[in-house]
Structure 1
C-alpha cells in the first residue's frame, strides 16, 4: 500500500504537475537556467511565467496542447498591447491552431497597416519603387518561427512558450529591446497538436516511479503509428506542396497574409547528434537567390555566436537539404523569405542517455531551441532593412525572370480532357498565392486556340519561381552533386538524396499542360479560393436515364454520393454511342429512371449531387445504343456501395495507411473501416467486399494462417488491393495471393568460382589487373535494385479492360523504393499498366541508369482473378502524400467497379 502511495505521489507531482503548488519555487528561480545565459535580464513579475500559470518549471514537463493554449492566452491577458493571438484553423481532431504576434506597443498597434504594407511590398506590379523604398526604411522586420510540425519532436513547443515569455517579461536587456523595437515576431507554437497529444498520451502512460533514460525503455519507444504525423498520419512537413491537410492550409494562408521575411522551422533529430541549422545540405533548389543564401548564412553565423557563447555544439550543411519544394522550410523561399531548418538532438522524453554515456534532459533541448529562436529574431532585427530590401528585390527578379522566358513564360491548362483535375490544380496554385486566370472567351496564343474555361498561369509574377518549380517537367540537381552520388554508388556508399526528386504538379495530376513564351492578352477572370466547380444536369426531366461520363474526380464523387443515398447505378465496361450520336467513355455511370422508383424524385437528387460534386450529367430519353454495349448488356454491371476495410496498425506503414485512408475518406467522400492487422489472421471478413493492404511487411504478422484466411476470402468474392510493400507478402511463395516474383538487380554475369562456391578452406588464386576488376569480382550477385528516393515515371495503360476505364492511354505515376516485379503470366492474370521503355520511362526526377533499364515494361498495375474474387496489385503506392491526384480514378475503379465485377456480385 505504501509503495502504491509513493508511485501515485511521484506521478502526480513530478510528472503530471498541474498546479503551482507542485513546485515551491519563485518565478525568478523557475527561469534561472534560461536567464543565466542572459545575465542582464530581469523578468517582470506581472507577466505570468510557465510555472506560475501551469504549475511546472519550463522544460520540466512536456506541455500539452491545452497547456500551451492556456499559457499563450495568459500572456495575452497580461500584455494585450504587445501580443496578439490569432486562430488560423483547427486540426482534424478539433484542436485549435494558433499563432502569436509579439512586438512593442507601436508595432502591435500598427499590425493591420503592417499587413497591408507587406502585401504591397510583395507585389512590385502594384507599388512604385519610391514607395517601396519608403516602406523598407520604415517597416519592422518580421520573423515567423514555427514549432512542432512533427508531434513527437516535442521540445520546440516549450521553447516557443519560453521565447514568448522572455520577449514579453525580459527587462534590462538590449537584445530584447532591439527585437521588440525592430521586429514583429510571429510564433506558431504547435503545428501538429493531434500528433503531439498522441505522443504525450503514450509517454506519460508508460512512465514508472522514475523516468528512464534508457533508449530501450517503453518511454522512448512509441507504438504504431507514433506521434510524428497528424490524425490522417500525414507528415505535415511534406504537405506544403499538395496542401491537403487543414494544418497546412491555415499556415500557408497566414504566411501569404503577412509575408514574413524570415521563416524558421524547428525540429528534433536522433538523440546522439548535437544541433543543426543552415546553411543546408546539398541539393538546394536552383531558384534560391544569392541574397537568400547570404541572409541564411548571416542567421547561421549569429546562431553560431550564441551557441559558442553557451558552449553548445552544432553542425551545418551535412544532412538536411532544401530541394523538394514541399517542406515547411523550402516552400517559404518561393515567397522571397530567408529560411532555415533547426534540429536539436531529441530526449524523446524527459531524459535520455547517449551512446557516449552522457545523459541530457528535456530542459536541455528546450534551452537550445530557445537560444536559436532568440538568435534568429535578433538577426532579423539587426539586418531589418537588408532583409526587407532583398525580399522586395526577389519579387522583382521573379517577375523579370518570367518575362524573359521566351519558351515557357505561360502555362496553359486547356479546357478539354480532365475538367475536375484542371479546376483542382488551378485552385491549388491559387492557394499557394499564385495568380491563376480562367479564359472568359476563346484565346489564340503561340499559334494555338484555347476554349473559354481554360486556365493559364503567367510566370511573370511574384510567385513565378514557385510556378516554374512546380509546373516545369524537370528541376535539375547540380551536376557536381549528381556526380558525387554516382561516385558514391560506385563505392557502394549510400546516396545523399533525401527526398523525392520529381514533383511536377501537371504530371502528378495527369492533366495536359501547354507552354507559351508570350503573355495571354485579354480580360480574363482571376481564380479565387471561393470558386467551386459547377455541376450541371442537361435535360433534367429525362424520361429514360441520367448518364455521368466517367474519367474525372467529379464523376467519382458523384458515384460515392449517389451510392450512399441508395441510388441504383450501372457502369458499362466499354465506350458506347446513343442514338442521338452522343459518345460516352468506358466506365460511364447510368442511372435509369425506372430502376430508381424507390427513390422519391430521383431527378432532383441527381441535380443536387451534381451541384455538390461538380459533375456533368446528361439526361437521355432513349436507351438505344448504336455502338458499344447496351444498358442491358452483359458488359453492364450494377454498382453497389461496398464495405471497404483497410489494414491498420503494425506492421503497416503508418504513412501508407493514413494517406490511403485520407484519399478514400476525404477525396472520395467514402467511409473506410480500419481493422487491426493482427485480426486479419482469423477474422471473418465476409461483411467486407474490399480490403486494402497498405505498404508494410506482413509475413511475420499474418503468416501462412493469415495468408490462407485472406485467400479464402478472395476466393469467396472479396477484392484485395495491395499497395507497395504489401506485394512482397502477396507474392510470397508461402502465400500465393499474387503470381509474380520480386526481382533481384540485373547483374553482369561473371565467373566467381575463384572466390565463391567452394567448400574448401582455400581457393585458387586470381590476379587482378586493376582496382575496378577487384571491385567487380567483389560484387554481390544477389541484391535488390538500387533505391529510388521518388521519381515520376511514364506508364502505358491497357485501354481494353474495365479496371482502366476512364484512365488515359499514357499516364505518369510515382515510383519509390527498390521493388521491381515480374509481369504476371496470362494464365494467372493480366498486366493492366506497365512502364515505358528505358529511354522513355523517366518523366521527372533523377533515376539511376540501371533502374531505367530494369524497370522498362515491368508492371505498374496487376489484376489476378482468384475464385469468385480478385487481387489488384499496385507495386508502387499512388496514394503517397495524396498528391498523385491524376491516378485516383484507378483506385476508384479498384474499389467500386471491382466489387461489382466479382463473380459473387453477379
Structure 2
C-alpha cells in the first residue's frame, strides 16, 4: 500500500515537471534576446505554433480569421491539461451560468494584445507572459482558462515594424529627434483601412472586428484586458478607470477593478515603477476593448504603457531617463501575470457575479421600437445578429413612450414591419447602452464621444417604451417579386431612400447601365414618387444587349423592387424627357491622402468606397498633387485634417479653383473647410466665436472645467434639412448629425442644405458645453456652393465617422451622384 502511494507521488511529480519541459522561451526560439529587436508577425505566430505543438495538452491554437492584407488572426487557449481536455464543457457551463444553471468555478481571462499596431510592445510581452504561465506560474492554470490574442492588428503592426527596421539607426538611437522616432503619416496605429480597431467593438465595420466578435460571443470572458501604449513620458496606467462610468456598470465591476489595481500596485511598488489610476481613461463610449466587454458582463480593463510608436527600441524621456523596449515588455508582462493571479484567486467570485450580471435588470426602458425604411431596418438587424442580440417584429398596434424624433413622450404606430428590441434578454445591458436616447453622464470630461444611440445613427423613427412591447420572432417573409420583361415597358423605377439604394446604383453604373433620376416629385400610374427616384429606361440602354438580364440580376442581388411603367408621361410633375430628369454619370473620383489629411478620416473615405459603396476611387498623394491633371476626374474629395493651410497655398488652391470653375465637384470635409474660410477661397465664412469674458481667468485646477464649456464631445443634434436639394434627396426634413467639435460656419448665400438654427443647439444626446451651444447657433452642417460651372460641397460634420453613422452615408452618395 505504501509502495503504491510512493509510486503515485513520483508519477505525479514527474508529470508536473515534464509539462512544458520542451517549451522554449521566446528568446531561445527566436534566436535573440526578447526586447533587442521587434519580432516580425510571422515569427510571433511561429512561436505560438511552437507552444501548441510542444505542449498540446495545455495549449490550443485557433485561427479565427484573417486581415484585409491576408495575415492570419489567432487565439491561443491555455489552461491545465484537464481543463483543455474539457474545454467545450467549460465554455458551455460558463454560458449556461448566465441563466443560473450549474456552478462553474473556472475563471476565463481574455487578453488582447496590439490592437494598435505601433503600440508594438504588447505582442512581445504576450510571448514572455504565456511562457511564464506555462512554466513558473502554472499553478494558476488549475482553475483559470486564459485566451490570448497575441496581435489583434497584424497589418498595422507589420507596417510599423517594417518601417522601424528600415529607418532605425544602427545601433538604435536614443535621441528623440532621430528619424526612427518619427513615424510617417501612414503610421502603424490603425488597420489596413486606417480604422482604429479599438473603437470598432460595437460597430463592427472592419473585417477583423467582425471575425473576432464571433469567437468572443462564444466565450464572454470574466475578464478582458486590452494592452496599449501612450506617450513616451507617461507612467504606466492601469485600473481602476476614470469617471465617467456608465450607470449600467455594477458595483462589483467597479470594486473588482480596484482589487486588480491594488494587486498591480503591489508589484510596481516593489520595483519602484511609477503608475497612475483613475485618470483619463473612462468607461463610457461602448466600442472600446474595455467598455464593450464590460457591457457584456466582463471586467473590462485598459492597460497603458508609456512609449508607443515614438519609443522604438529605446528613447530618452523628457526627464532624461532611458525607456527601453525591455522596460516596456517587463511592465506589460507584470500586469498580465498579476491579472491572471487575481483571476485564479477569485474564480468562484467571478462566476457568482457573472451570473448576477445577467439577471433581469430594472432599467427604465423595457423595449425599443423602430420604424423606417426597410433597408435601414435590415442594416440594423444585421448588426444585431452579429452581436447575438434578440429582436422581433411588432403587430398592427401602437406603443407609448419616448419619441426620439420629437424628443418627448408620445405614441408610435406599429406594424409587422416594426422592429422591437427587448431589454429583457441575455444581452439586455448592451441593448440599453446602444439604444438608450441619452447616456447619463456622471462627468462631462470624457475621453471620447458621448452620444451614439443607434436609432439616430440609422435614421429610424424610434420609441423607448417603459413597458414590454409584444413581438414575434418569426422572420418576415416579404419577398421581392421578380420584375419581368415586357415589350411595352418604357422604364423601370426604383426608390431612393437608403444607402442600400446607392449600392444598387453603383452596381448598375459599373455594368454601364444608364440611370436617370428625378429632381422633382411626380405621380405616375396613380402612385407618388419622391425626389431622387431612379429611372432606368430601355431607350437609354439599347446598346446593351443583356440589359434586362443584368438589371434584373442586380436588382435581385440587392433585393430591390423595380416598378415598370409603359410611359414616360406623368400625371403630375415632370415627364421623363424633361430637363428635371437627369442622367447619373459614371464618374471618376479622386481622394487626397497624405499629411494634410487625418489618417483616420482618410481611411473612412477609403473604406467607404472599397468596402461599402463598392465604387472605384483614385488615391492621390499630397507630394505629387501639383503634377496631377485634375481634368481627369469629375470629383475630388478632401478628407478632414489639421494641416491643410500649408497644402492649400497659392499654387494648389488656384489649381483647385480653376478645376471647379471648369466643372469639377469638390467635396471638402472638416479641417479643409477652416482653411477655405480663413483664406476666403470660396463663399464659406467662419462664424465669430464669442467667448464668455467671465471665464477668461480661471484657477489652474478648474481650467479644464472652464474649457469644457466651449467643447462638444461627440453629441447628436437635430438639424433642419432642405430635402428639395439634391444633397438631401431621400431624407425627411430633419437630420440627426453627430457633431465632433464646435466648428461653426455662416449659412451660404444659397445652397444651405443642413443647418442648426437658433432653436436647435441643445443636443438631443451627448454633451455640449454652454458656450459651445451659443457658438453653433445658425451654423451650416452641409451645403453646396455653385462656383463657375462646378460645385463645392461643404461637410462640416462627418457623415462617415468611424463607418457607423449609417444615416450619413446617403448624404455622401448624393454628393457624388445627384449634385450637379
Per the normalisation by structure 2, the TM-score is: 0.92
Q: Residue 304 of structure 1: SS of its match in structure 2?
A: helix
Encode CA deviations 1:445-469: one digit per residue, 9 max, x unaligned: 5575522232211101121121111
Which of these residues, 502, 511, 524, is aligned with residue 556 of structure 1? 502
What CA distance in whole angstroms lies between the structure 1 residues aligned with 2:726 and 2:697?
A: 52
Encode CA deviations 1:68-90: one digit per residue, 9 max, x unaligned: 11110111111111111111221
Query: Match for residue 25 of structure 1?
Result: none
Q: Is the 8 A contact 1:536 1:614 kept in 2?
A: no
What CA distance in whole angstroms lies between the structure 2 residues aligned with 1:686 and 1:43?
A: 68
Q: Is the 8 A contact 2:799 2:811 kept in 1?
A: no
Query: Match for residue 767 of structure 1?
Result: none
Query: Match for residue 435 of structure 1?
Result: 390
Give the drift of 1:538.
4.3
Q: Residue 343 of structure 1: SS of its match in structure 2?
A: strand
Q: Given the superposition, is the C-alpha separation of residues 534 and 657 from structure 1 closer, same or farther in structure 2, using an over 3 Å criterion? A: farther
What CA distance in whole angstroms lies between the structure 2 residues aligned with 1:367 and 1:264?
A: 16
Encode CA deviations 1:599-637: one digit per residue, 9 max, x unaligned: 233222222112222323222222221111211111111
What CA distance in whole angstroms lies between the structure 2 residues aligned with 1:567 and 1:209?
A: 58
Q: Given the superposition, is the C-alpha separation of residues 520 and 205 from structure 1 closer, same or farther in structure 2, using an over 3 Å criterion? A: same
User: 2:622 aligned with 1:622, yes or no?
Assistant: no
Query: Match for residue 792 of structure 1?
Result: 716
CA RMSD in angstroms comes to 2.4
Query: Match for residue 690 of structure 2?
Result: 746
Q: Is the 8 A contact 1:265 1:342 kept in 2?
A: yes
Which of these residues, 330, 334, 342, is aligned with residue 371 of structure 1? 334
Which of these residues, 626, 629, 632, is aligned with residue 684 of structure 1? 629
Q: Given the superposition, is the C-alpha separation of residues 748 and 194 from structure 1 closer, same or farther in structure 2, using an over 3 Å criterion? A: closer
Which of these residues, 233, 247, 251, is aligned with residue 194 of structure 2? 233
Query: Match for residue 135 of structure 1?
Result: 103
Q: Is the 8 A contact 1:281 1:320 kept in 2?
A: yes
Encode CA deviations 1:209-240: one digit per residue, 9 max, x unaligned: 21011111111110012111111111111111
User: 2:52 aligned with 1:76, yes or no?
Assistant: yes
Q: Is the 8 A contact 2:718 2:760 kept in 1?
A: no
Query: Match for residue 360 of structure 1?
Result: 323
Encode CA deviations 1:769-822: one digit per residue, 9 max, x unaligned: xx989779xx9xxx9992322111111001222221112211101111232111
Give the drift of 1:839.
5.1
What CA distance in whole angstroms lies between the structure 2 residues aligned with 1:522 and 1:200?
A: 52
Q: Is the 8 A contact 1:213 1:353 kept in 2?
A: yes
What CA distance in whole angstroms lies between the structure 2 residues aligned with 1:739 and 1:330?
A: 43
Q: What does residue range 816-827 of structure 1 map to in structure 2 within 5 Å?
A: 816-825=740-749
Q: Which segment is superposed worse, 301-310 or 88-97?
A: 301-310
Encode CA deviations 1:632-672: one digit per residue, 9 max, x unaligned: 11111111211111000112111111112212222211111
Q: Is the 8 A contact 2:20 2:54 kept in 1?
A: no
Q: Is the 8 A contact 2:194 2:599 kept in 1?
A: yes
Per the normalisation by structure 1, the TM-score is: 0.83
Query: Match for residue 15 of structure 1?
Result: none
Query: Match for residue 790 of structure 2?
Result: 869
Q: Given the superposition, is the C-alpha separation of residues 641 and 551 from structure 1 closer, same or farther in structure 2, using an over 3 Å criterion? A: same
Q: Residue 295 of structure 2: SS of its match in structure 1?
A: helix
Q: Residue 210 of structure 1: SS of its match in structure 2?
A: coil
Query: Match for residue 67 of structure 1?
Result: 43
User: 2:125 aligned with 1:167, yes or no?
Assistant: no
What CA distance in whole angstroms lies between the structure 2 residues aligned with 1:383 and 1:744?
A: 57
Query: Match for residue 278 of structure 1?
Result: 239
Encode CA deviations 1:692-713: one digit per residue, 9 max, x unaligned: 0011222212311100000111
Q: Is the 8 A contact 2:176 2:316 kept in 1?
A: yes
Q: Is the 8 A contact 2:391 2:473 kept in 1?
A: no
What CA distance in whole angstroms lies between the structure 2 residues aligned with 1:156 and 1:604?
A: 53
What CA distance in whole angstroms lies between the structure 2 residues aligned with 1:270 and 1:211?
A: 19
What CA distance in whole angstroms lies between the structure 1 residues aligned with 2:386 and 2:494?
A: 29
Q: Is the 8 A contact 1:744 1:785 kept in 2?
A: no
User: 2:732 aligned with 1:808, yes or no?
Assistant: yes
Q: Residue 619 of structure 2: SS of its match in structure 1?
A: strand
Q: Is the 8 A contact 1:682 1:709 kept in 2?
A: no
Paired residues in the alignment total 785
Give the drift of 1:430.
2.4
Give the drift of 1:429.
2.1
Q: What does residue range 88-237 of structure 1 map to in structure 2 within 5 Å?
A: 88-122=64-98, 124=99, 129=100, 132=101, 134-136=102-104, 139-168=105-134, 170=135, 173=136, 176-237=137-198
What CA distance in whole angstroms lies between the structure 2 residues aligned with 1:153 and 1:775?
A: 36
What CA distance in whole angstroms lies between the structure 2 residues aligned with 1:476 and 1:706?
A: 46
Q: What does residue range 669-818 of structure 1 map to in structure 2 within 5 Å?
A: 669-696=614-641, 697-733=643-679, 736=681, 738-747=682-691, 786-818=710-742
Q: Residue 294 of structure 2: SS of its match in structure 1?
A: helix
Q: Which segment is superposed worse, 386-395 or 656-665?
A: 656-665
Q: What does residue range 407-556 of structure 1 map to in structure 2 within 5 Å?
A: 408-414=365-371, 417-439=372-394, 442=396, 445=399, 449-478=413-442, 481-482=443-444, 496-521=445-470, 523-525=472-474, 537-539=482-484, 541=486, 543-556=489-502
What CA distance in whole angstroms lies between the structure 2 residues aligned with 1:813 and 1:739?
A: 23
What CA distance in whole angstroms lies between the structure 1 residues aligned with 2:361 and 2:437?
A: 21
Give the drift of 1:361.
1.0
Q: Is the 8 A contact 1:83 1:100 kept in 2?
A: yes
What CA distance in whole angstroms lies between the structure 2 residues aligned with 1:316 and 1:296?
A: 10
Query: Match for residue 19 of structure 1?
Result: none
Give the drift of 1:433.
2.6
User: 2:771 aligned with 1:856, yes or no?
Assistant: no
Q: Which segment is superposed worse, 664-673 or 213-222?
A: 664-673
Give the drift of 1:265.
0.5
Query: Match for residue 328 of structure 1?
Result: 289
Q: Is the 8 A contact 2:220 2:293 kept in 1?
A: no
Q: Given the superposition, is the C-alpha separation of residues 520 and 876 from structure 1 closer, same or farther in structure 2, using an over 3 Å criterion? A: closer
What CA distance in whole angstroms lies between the structure 2 residues aligned with 1:465 and 1:836?
A: 35
Q: Residue 198 of structure 2: SS of its match in structure 1?
A: helix
Q: Is the 8 A contact 1:534 1:615 kept in 2?
A: no
